C-alpha cells in the first residue's frame, strides 16, 4: 500500500472532538497568515495531514508547516516538470530508489545514492527536485562512509525537503546507513519476496552497506534466496545477521550458495533458526563452510543441530583454516557430536572460540573442546 493511501485511509476515519478543534484552530491561523500574503486558503484535508504528522499538537504542526513553506520557497519547489530535462535525466539515473519493504512501524523506506552525482551534474536544486518527485514522507537510507561534501550536503538537503515534498508534510524518520560503519538495520520488518528481490538487486551493486541486519524479518525461502543472490555479487557486506527467521531446508542451501560465492563476508549470525531440521541441507551448508576463505565468525546457536549435524560441522572445522569463532550453544549435539568436534579440533589451528553450553555434553567432552580451543589461542599469541 502506498504511504499516501495509508494516510487517506487514516484520514477517512472520524476525528475526535479534540482533533476537530485542533484542525479548526490550525486552519484559522494558517489561512489568516496566507490571506495577508495574498495566497489562497489550505484545505481541511491538508491541515489534517500536518496535524497527523505532529499528533494534533497545533504548535508543533504550525512549526512543521512553516518549515515546509520555507523549504519550498528556498528551493523553488513549486513547478515540477518530471518529463522534461534536466529533471527527466536526473530521475532516470535512479539515484533515488523506493524500496517496497517497510519497517516495523509501517514506514516506507527509500535508498538515496548520491554517489552517482558529479560536479558536472545538474544543480543541487534539480537533484533535490528529483528526490522529491520520487520520495514523499519516507524513511531515507542515506549513503555510507566515504562521501564527498557535495554528496553529504545533497543527502541532508533531501532529508530536509522530504517533509514538504509533494504536499505530504510528514515527519521523516531517518534510518541512515552509518557513515562510520555502513550499518543497515531492517530488523523486525516484514520483508516479502518481491521486496527482498528489490533489496537483493540493490545489494548486488551498492558498496555503501558493510553491515546488514535482517533479524526477525519473517523471511520466506524465496525471499532469502533473492537476498543471497544479491549478496553473492556484493563486495562490501562483512557482517550479516539473520537471527530468528526460521531458516531451514532450501533456505539453508541458499546460505550455502552464499558461502561458496562470497569471499567478503566475515561474520554470519544465524541464531534462533532451524538449520538442523534438515540434515541433508545442513550438510550442503557445512560443505560450503569447509571451502570458504572469508568467514571468521559463525553463530549457530539454537538451531536444533543434532549429532549428525555436529559431524558435518566437525568436518568443516577440520578443513577450514580461517574460522576463529564458532558458537554452537543451545543445540543437541550430544556425546557423538561432541566427540566429532574434539577429533576435528586436533587438525584445526584457527578456532579460538567454540562455546558449546546447552548441548547435553558430559563435562569431560566440554573440557576437551575448551582445552583444544585454548591451545589454539595460546599458539596464536605465542
Q: What is the pLDDT of residues 343-355, one digit of tens each?
A: 999 999 999 999 9
Which residue, among 4, 22, 136, 145, has the nearest Cα to 68 in the 3D structure?
Answer: 136
- What pLDDT shows up at residue 382? 80
Which residue, among 250, 198, 262, has the nearest Cα to 225 in the 3D structure?
Answer: 250
From residue 183, alpha-carbon distances to 175, 186, 209, 270 in Å are 10, 10, 6, 18
- What pLDDT shows up at residue 110? 62
- What pLDDT shows up at residue 338? 97
Give the whole-angstrom CA distance, residue 179 versus residue 230: 22
pTM beyond 0.75: no
- What Rg value do the Cα atoms of the chain yield, rounded? 26
CB 214 within 8 A of CB 227: yes
DSSP state of 263: S
Which residue, among 51, 177, 58, 61, has the nearest Cα to 110 in the 3D structure?
Answer: 177
Locate 93 and state its grid cell. 539515473
Task: State the residue for C-alpha cell 569447509.
Answer: 290
Q: Where are the domains of the chain?
A: 3-74, 87-167, 183-381
Give the whole-angstrom CA distance, residue 161 versus residue 137: 10
Residues of the chain with pLDDT under 70: 1-13, 74-82, 87, 90-180
Does 183-381 carry CATH code 2.160.10.10?
Answer: no
Concatenate the DSSP letters of all residues of 322-361 into one string. Answer: S--EEE--SS--HHHHHHHHHHHHTS-SS--B---TTS--
- What pLDDT shows up at residue 212? 94
- What pLDDT shows up at residue 111? 61
DSSP state of 98: E
- What pLDDT shows up at residue 170? 33
- What pLDDT shows up at residue 180? 55
Q: What is the pLDDT of residues 82-115, one digit of tens each?
A: 677 776 776 666 666 666 555 555 555 666 555 5
Amino acid at each position: 500500500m502506498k504511504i499516501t493511501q495509508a494516510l487517506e485511509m487514516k484520514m477517512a476515519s472520524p476525528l475526535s472532538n479534540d482533533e476537530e478543534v485542533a484542525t479548526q484552530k490550525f486552519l484559522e491561523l494558517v489561512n489568516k497568515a496566507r490571506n495577508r500574503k495574498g495566497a489562497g486558503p489550505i484545505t481541511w484535508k491538508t491541515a489534517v495531514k500536518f496535524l497527523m504528522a505532529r499528533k494534533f499538537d497545533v504548535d508543533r504542526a504550525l512549526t512543521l508547516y512553516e518549515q515546509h513553506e520555507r523549504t519550498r520557497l528556498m528551493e523553488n519547489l513549486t513547478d515540477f516538470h518530471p518529463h522534461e530535462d534536466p529533471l527527466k535525466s536526473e530521475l532516470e539515473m535512479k539515484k533515488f530508489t523506493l524500496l517496497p519493504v517497510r519497517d516495523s512501524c509501517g514506514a516506507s523506506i527509500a535508498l538515496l545514492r548520491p554517489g552517482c552525482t558529479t560536479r558536472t551534474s545538474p544543480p543541487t536544486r534539480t537533484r533535490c527536485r528529483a528526490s522529491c518527485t520520487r520520495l514523499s514522507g519516507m524513511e531515507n537510507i542515506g549513503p555510507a562512509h566515504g562521501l564527498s561534501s557535495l554528496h553529504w550536503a545533497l543527502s541532508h538537503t533531501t532529508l530536509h525537503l522530504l517533509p514538504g515534498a509533494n504536499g505530504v508534510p510528514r515527519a521523516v524518520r531517518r534510518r541512515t546507513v552509518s557513515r562510520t560503519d555502513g550499518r543497515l538495520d531492517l530488523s523486525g520488518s516484514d520483508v516479502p519476496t518481491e521486496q527482498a528481490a528489490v533489496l537483493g538487486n540493490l545489494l548486488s551493486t551498492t558498496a555503501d552497506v558493510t553491515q546488514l541486519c535482517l533479524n526477525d524479518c519473517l523471511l520466506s525461502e524465496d525471499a532469502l534466496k533473492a537476498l543471497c543472490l544479491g549478496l553473492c555479487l556484493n563486495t562490501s557486506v562483512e557482517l550479516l545477521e539473520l537471527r530468528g527467521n526460521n531458516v531451514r531446508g532450501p533456505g539453508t542451501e541458499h546460505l550455502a550458495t552464499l558461502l561458496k560465492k562470497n569471499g567478503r563476508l566475515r561474520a554470519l549470525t544465524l541464531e534462533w533458526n532451524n538449520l538442523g531440521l534438515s540434515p541433508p541441507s545442513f550438510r550442503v551448508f557445512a560443505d560450503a563452510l569447509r571451502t570458504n576463505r572469508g568467514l571468521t565468525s559463525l553463530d549457530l546457536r539454537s538451531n536444533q543441530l543434532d549429532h549428525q549435524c555436529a559431524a558435518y560441522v566437525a568436518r568443516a572445522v577440520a578443513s577450514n583454516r580461517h574460522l576463529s569463532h564458532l558458537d554452537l550453544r543451545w543445540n543437541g549435539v550430544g556425546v557423538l557430536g561432541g566427540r566429532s568436534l574434539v577429533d576435528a579440533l586436533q587438525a584445526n589451528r584457527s578456532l579460538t572460540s567454540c562455546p558449546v553450553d546447552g548441548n547435553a555434553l558430559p563435562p569431560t567432552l566440554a573440557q576437551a573442546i575448551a582445552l583444544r580451543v585454548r591451545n589454539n589461542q595460546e599458539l596464536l599469541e605465542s
